[in-house]
């Protein structure tokens, strides 16, 4: 068992890849494909294929849930920005209308 905490910031250059040729391995390369400094997640080859699959499924579920939360926040921010832009356009339209002379 490994006990440690590490933080890696992911940017647009980050690359992710998996390999199952010997034992299942998943690489996270924060600075781009084949750049120095990467993180390796490896499954123990002594685990059964079903156990390896269960671990991979849990990993995928956690990443998918994380991605879905980010997508929901992005949608919310886009909606707020769209609403603000629509309100500004309506204000501009109302200001441009000729006033009532009566």
At 16-35, the pLDDT tens digits run 999 987 789 999 999 999 88
Instruction: Give pLDDT tens digits for 51-97.
Output: 999 999 999 999 999 999 999 999 998 888 888 888 999 999 999 98
pTM for this predicted structure: 0.71
**Tokens linked to 67:** 């991605």
- What is d(CA 84, CA 92) in angstroms, rounded to the nearest whole number? 12
Taking alpha carbons only, the member of 18, 67, 62, 70 closest to residue 39 is: 18
List the 15-19 sheet strands across, edge first.
15-19, 25-29, 39-42
pLDDT at 72: 94
pLDDT band at residue 6 under the 50/70/90 scheme: confident
Residue partners of 23: CB distance under 8 A and separation at least 6: 42, 43, 44, 45
Residue 27 pairs in a beta bridge with 17, 40
């Amino acid at each position: 068992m490994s006990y440690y905490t590490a933080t890696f910031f992911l940017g647009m250059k980050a690359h992710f890849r998996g390999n199952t040729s010997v034992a299942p391995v998943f690489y996270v390369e924060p600075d781009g494909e084949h750049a120095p400094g990467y993180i390796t997640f490896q499954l123990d080859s002594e685990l059964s294929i079903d156990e390896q699959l269960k671990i991979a499924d849990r990993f995928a579920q956690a990443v998918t849930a994380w991605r879905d939360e980010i997508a929901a926040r992005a949608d919310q921010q886009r909606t707020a920005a769209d609403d603000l832009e629509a309100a500004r356009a309506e204000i501009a339209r109302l200001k441009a209308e000729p006033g009532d002379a009566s």
